[in-house]
Structure 1
């Protein structure tokens, strides 16, 4: 219970930083939320690494900006929704992308050695955005091979796990989420 409360407090702190458009100072909050190199996914069994591809730039992806109409339900805490684009396998983001019927990545299965920041870069989304869409079901204190990361803001409460466990973290009541499926 204490670990979940700590993770929820950290998650709310991250949400507050994003909502106020401030960059937090370096320190324990950053270290607690963003997995370090030691929090990389660990292999379940030795295997041959997947071949890497040229990921290409994220130039075509629209930047995240404030929502013009605060009543617009298609937002994530006052910011426009990010639509992931899979740039392909990267050295520390070589897991499996799960696509919807339109070919848009909606989830990601973590591979051994994956790193959170590289996963965000692979899908052309901000790390903080990726943390928020995974806040409800993960404590964000490490990645494990086989974890499922959510990439779709419409499935915040139904997609994702951490080391086989689904957390039950909450968002502040004033934080606007898009309609959930």
Structure 2
């Protein structure tokens, strides 16, 4: 190979490298300028018919700032496995209503002490935002609604349960009440 041919090949390689880098930079710029996909209103959730163990999947709903949830107590493993006030080995979550949010604008139902115990879904509500509104984990909300819902979407007018003591008596989905069971080893708090 001649020196001229070698120089020519080097220039072509440099051009290709520059072109590749340019395409990469362009892709980054275009990706940054592309708006995120619109959130799904009725996001499909994993079914819990076999077990209340939740498989987490990436949510299509916007990330919601949990805001002033300071009054809520973090969930932790129970120290005494025989303690009846638990949900599957974890301490109970006590909902705190932060008030209506963009995709959680339904009506909260409160008990005599003012604690939210149920929620009536409004059009456009998203499960993750409802959980954030009440300062509870989305997985916890799915579990306390497991017995009476199939968790495959939200419908305006649905009643979501927010109280671990009423798992078998509060909640519905699109006017239907499911009859899902929990595994025998899954500890539930006393039911009312």
Same fold (TM over 0.5): yes
Alignment of 1:50-65 (within 5 A): 56-65=67-76
Structure showing greater Rg: 2
TM-score, normalisation: structure 2? 0.70
* Other-structure match for 1:42: none
Distance 1:66 1:7 in 2: 22
Aligned-pair CA distance for 1:114:
0.2
The count of aligned residue pairs is 142
Alignment of 1:73 onto 2:114: no
Alignment of 1:159-170 (within 5 A): 159-170=170-181
Q: Does the aligned pair in 1 maintain the 2:103–2:124 contact within 8 Å?
A: yes
Distance 2:67 2:74 in 1: 17
Structure 1 gaps of 5+ residues are 1-5, 18-23, 25-29, 38-54
**Residue in structure 2 matching 1:94, options 105, 110, 114:** 105
Q: Does the aligned pair in 1 maintain the 2:84–2:190 contact within 8 Å?
A: yes
TM-score, normalisation: structure 1? 0.74
Does the residue aligned with 2:136 lie in a helix, a strand or coil? coil
Tell me the C-alpha RMSD between the 2 structures.
1.7
1:97-155, Cα deviation, whole Å (9 max, x unpaired): 00000000000000000000000000000000000000000000000000000000000
Displaced runs of 4+ in structure 1, greater than 2 A? none
**Residue in structure 1 matching 2:155, options 144, 156, 159:** 144
1:72-106, Cα deviation, whole Å (9 max, x unpaired): 00000000000000000100000000000000000
* Other-structure match for 1:8: 49
Distance 1:130 1:169 in 2: 15
1:23-80, Cα deviation, whole Å (9 max, x unpaired): x5xxxxx37xx7x56xxxxxxxxxxxxxxxxx84112211000001000000000000
Structure 2 gaps of 5+ residues are 1-46
